[in-house]
Chains A and B, each alone.
Chain A
Amino acid sequence: MNELAPTHKGPAHVKETAMPLDSREPGPDATDGAERVDLACARAPVGLLAELTHRCPLQCPYCSNPLELEKSNTELTTEEWQKVMRQAAQLGILQVHLSGGEPTARRDLEEIVKTAAEAGLYTNLITAAVLLKRDRLEKLKEAGLDHVQISIQDVDSAAENADRIAGYKGGSAKKKEVAGWVRELGLPLTINAPIHRHNVHSVEAIIDYAVELGAGRVEIAHVQYYAWALRNRAALMPTREEFMASAKLVEKARERLKGVIVIDAVVPDYYAKFPKPCMGGWGKGIINITPSGRVLPCHAAESITGLEFDSVRDKPLGEIWLSGKAFQKYRGTDWMKEPCRSCPRREVDYGGCRCQAFALTGDAANTDPACSLSPLHEEWAMVAEVESHQGPPSFIYRRPGGATPKPAVEKTPVPSDA
């Protein structure tokens, strides 16, 4: 029994932690020299987002990958990813999110999962599911996979809308089949649904569908407008009224389905009151690795020009986390300018998102325009009002080279070695 007090101390508590797990309160001079390393160790990241590949058979116009997709011949090898998994566990990372692109497009996924699980990481597969076969899923389970998250696009009877959004015919039916296998194998399932103007009216149906599929968790995740989603913003942005209606439905469903399914909601910050604490604070709880091994504080960080990123090919992960230039640049609050610097919420939302601040103001150290204290806030918020009330333009589908304006070409088949 771990340090059980001899007397009853009152009700037991199980706190859901904010992403970073500090092992102790920082001391008054915790930022000086030797102390800093110690503190940084104590503040190991909780989660690793491992983008194993940028290859994906789907073409969702809100993809969070960068517009410039990394080529398959630059991807880390099996051995390199395995080394990363061992280093991640050593650093104190608890959970690894195996993502992409489509992670199952890598034929060595089982080996990576096995190494991660053996190292003690909680392994989460974030997949579009369309490439998965039952025996492969079984092998992944045997390798130690802990959890599967499947993304869906919509719930419509003929799946026309869902498949149109993904740019992949038959995807919706395939996802349903794979979700069934996940449950048959006794793996826990999360359904992730990115929400936008083309499916915002299906929120309730999506939640019920997740229950029907046997998911223990569903994410009603309004699209975050970076990368491909920013390029497609006018095609995706719901109106404020549509967003509010969806938020009410989530609240009602949470009551109705209490204890049956956990519903997580992500809000579009164009309609939020405060900016979001992006990544729970820069370099605080999450570490992201691109297919070629570049280590980022967030998956969109490469959009900030002038930042220097290290690669796991050159340095150990722990060293990059502790002292990498890109991580140090916006870690904590010392880099802040006004109005963030003196704001009482500076350690609540960390001035919002650095990538959004950079994209809209040209300086990532400025306040995110999502904050009402930003001088650009009104103008920024108006964009959503205007765009969401206009007819939606066509999607710019996510595909290699798709973001560069040129005459539309037929989709080239996406290589998959799965």
Chain B
Amino acid sequence: MGEVAPRVRTIITIASRPVMPAHIKMRHDAGRGRWLILAPERVFDPDDTAVAILKLCDGAHSVGDIAGLLAKEYNAPVAEIEADIVAMLQDLADKGVVKA
């Protein structure tokens, strides 16, 4: 049952296939006009870029895949995007919001 309480820190790499655990809920809040992530005793407020990344975190796409897709969409260098994604997902992994 390591799902919501990993015994070791998850380290995000280009090869990681990140996913939000079932108890983490990202939803669009119509009243507030924004996306929110609901977690135990926490609410996170992702910006548009973060939402785009997290929507691709389905456990199937790797960080590299996600960077490739977004690099096209953003018209930006893959390496730069990869670094951003790894940094963001590592932070969220440390907060228990994504696992890989």
Interface residues of A (CB under 8 A from B): 1-17, 19, 21, 23, 41-42, 44, 46, 92, 94-95, 120, 122, 124, 146-147, 149, 183-184, 186-190, 211, 214-217, 258-262, 264
Are the CB atoms of A17 and B44 closer together than 8 Å?
yes
In the bound complex, how far is the Cα of B44 from the Cα of A94, in angstroms? 11
- Residues on the A chain within 8 Å of B35, using CB: 2
- Which chain B residues in 4-63 approach chain A with CB under 8 Å? 4-10, 21-23, 25, 27-29, 31-38, 40-53, 55
Task: Please tell me which one of the listed residues B40, B50, B74 contacts residue A188 in the complex, with CB atoms under 8 A apart.
Answer: B40
Residues A23 and B34 in contact in the complex (CB < 8 Å), given A189-B5, A216-B96, A262-B95: yes
Task: Please tell me which one of the listed residues A4, A6, A7, A184 contacts residue B1 in the complex, with CB atoms under 8 A apart.
Answer: A184
- Residues on the B chain within 8 Å of A216, using CB: 4-5, 40, 96
Residue of A nearest to B94 (CB): A259
**Nearest Cβ distance between residue A190 and chain B, in whole angstroms?**
6
Task: Please tell me which one of the listed residues A5, A12, A44 contacts residue B85 in the complex, with CB atoms under 8 A apart.
Answer: A12
A-B contacts besides A8-B76, A190-B41, 13 pairs, CB < 8 Å: A4-B49, A4-B74, A8-B80, A9-B49, A13-B88, A15-B44, A16-B43, A21-B32, A23-B34, A92-B32, A184-B1, A188-B40, A190-B40
Are the CB atoms of B6 and A1 closer together than 8 Å?
no
Are the CB atoms of A260 and B7 closer together than 8 Å?
yes
- Residues on the A chain within 8 Å of B44, using CB: 14-17
- Residues on the B chain within 8 Å of A8, using CB: 74-76, 80-81
- Which chain B residues in 52-96 approach chain A with CB under 8 Å? 52-53, 55, 73-76, 80-81, 84-85, 87-88, 91-96
Task: Please tell me which one of the listed residues B5, B33, B76, B91 contacts residue A261 in the complex, with CB atoms under 8 A apart.
Answer: B5
**Nearest Cβ distance between residue B100 and chain A, in whole angstroms?**
11
Most buried by B among A19, A122, A124, A261: A122
Are the CB atoms of A5 and B48 closer together than 8 Å?
yes
Would you give 22 A-B contacts (Cβ < 8 Å), ordered by A?
A: A1-B52, A6-B74, A7-B76, A15-B46, A21-B36, A21-B43, A41-B31, A94-B36, A124-B41, A146-B23, A147-B40, A149-B40, A186-B1, A186-B3, A211-B5, A214-B4, A214-B5, A217-B40, A258-B9, A259-B8, A260-B5, A260-B9
In the bound complex, how far is the Cα of B79 from the Cα of A316, in angstroms? 53
Residues A12 and B38 in contact in the complex (CB < 8 Å), given A187-B23, A259-B10: no
- Interface of A, secondary structure class, is loop
- Residues on the B chain within 8 Å of A120, using CB: 27
Residues A215 and B5 in contact in the complex (CB < 8 Å), given A1-B55, A95-B43: yes
Are the CB atoms of B53 and A12 closer together than 8 Å?
yes
- Residues on the A chain within 8 Å of B80, using CB: 8
In the bound complex, how far is the Cα of B36 from the Cα of A8, in angstroms? 21
In the bound complex, how far is the Cα of B41 from the Cα of A271, in angstroms? 25
Task: Please tell me which one of the listed residues A2, A6, A12, A41 contacts residue B75 in the complex, with CB atoms under 8 A apart.
Answer: A6
- Residues on the A chain within 8 Å of B84, using CB: 10-12
Residues A95 and B49 in contact in the complex (CB < 8 Å), given A7-B75, A11-B87: no
Residue of A nearest to B96 (CB): A216
In the bound complex, how far is the Cα of B29 from the Cα of A417, in angstroms? 37
Most buried by B among A8, A46, A190, A214: A8
**Nearest Cβ distance between residue A318 and chain B, in whole angstroms?**
12
In the bound complex, how far is the Cα of B88 from the Cα of A95, in angstroms? 24
Are the CB atoms of B1 and A183 closer together than 8 Å?
yes
In the bound complex, how far is the Cα of B69 from the Cα of A42, in angstroms? 35
- Residues on the B chain within 8 Å of A215, using CB: 5
Are the CB atoms of A46 and B3 closer together than 8 Å?
no
Are the CB atoms of B73 and A1 closer together than 8 Å?
yes
Are the CB atoms of B4 and A188 closer together than 8 Å?
yes
**Nearest Cβ distance between residue A279 and chain B, in whole angstroms?**
14
Are the CB atoms of A4 and B52 closer together than 8 Å?
yes
- Residues on the B chain within 8 Å of A13, using CB: 46-47, 49-50, 88
Residue of B nearest to A1 (CB): B52
Residue of B nearest to A261 (CB): B5
Most buried by A among B10, B46, B85, B87: B46
**Nearest Cβ distance between residue A138 and chain B, in whole angstroms?**
15
